Amino acid sequence: MKTVDLFNLDKKYADEMLAHAVSAAPNECCGILAGINNNVVKLYRTTNTERSPSKYKINSQEMFSIYKEISENRWELLGVYHSHVHTEAYPSPTDVKSALLPESIYFIISLRDPERVVIRGFLIKKGKITEIELRITG
């Protein structure tokens, strides 16, 4: 995928990520966004095998079948999302260390303030964090 400074995220996917984060709390949720030309076409809720309020790991079998479907459809793995239950929507040192997809956007949903849920997006390349401007559309 082409690297972008601005990413248009359809409101229905933002709402879906938020709903997932809320239903997984007090643990972190995680999932994948697949798409074409920076447009999301499918959201996958995945299992956080860590079952933890402070870290996540996507179930590897689920990841395998998602990769398969993405490649069969000639989609791209646009993004990986997960939630932060008690902290801000910014990559933790563990998130940075475990970020293995330099072309994908890492979306983080923060539930820290239930009155004001925040979703932010980042590129994480070789330990360097760059924020992407998210525009929620639709």
Does 59 bind Zn ion (CB under 5 A)? Our answer is no
**Cβ atoms within 10 Å of 105's Cβ, excluding its own:** 26
Whichever of 75 and 77 has its CB closer to Zn ion, that residue is: 77
Helix (H) or strand (E) holding 71: helix 60-72
Q: Which of 8, 92, 101, 117 binds Zn ion (CB under 5 A)?
A: 92
- Residue 2 Cβ, how far from Zn ion at the closest point, in Å? 25
Sheet holding 128-137, edge to edge: 6-10, 128-137, 118-125, 105-110, 76-84, 30-36, 39-46
Residue at shortest CB range from Zn ion? 95
Q: Which of 95, 104, 107, 121 binds Zn ion (CB under 5 A)?
A: 95
Structure-token pair, residue 110: 């923060």
Q: How far apart are CA 127 and CA 76, in angstroms?
A: 22
- Listed ranges 13-21, 42-50, 84-92, 127-135: which one lies at the site for Zn ion (CB under 5 A): 84-92
Under the rule (CB under 5 A), what is the footprint of Zn ion?
Answer: 92, 95
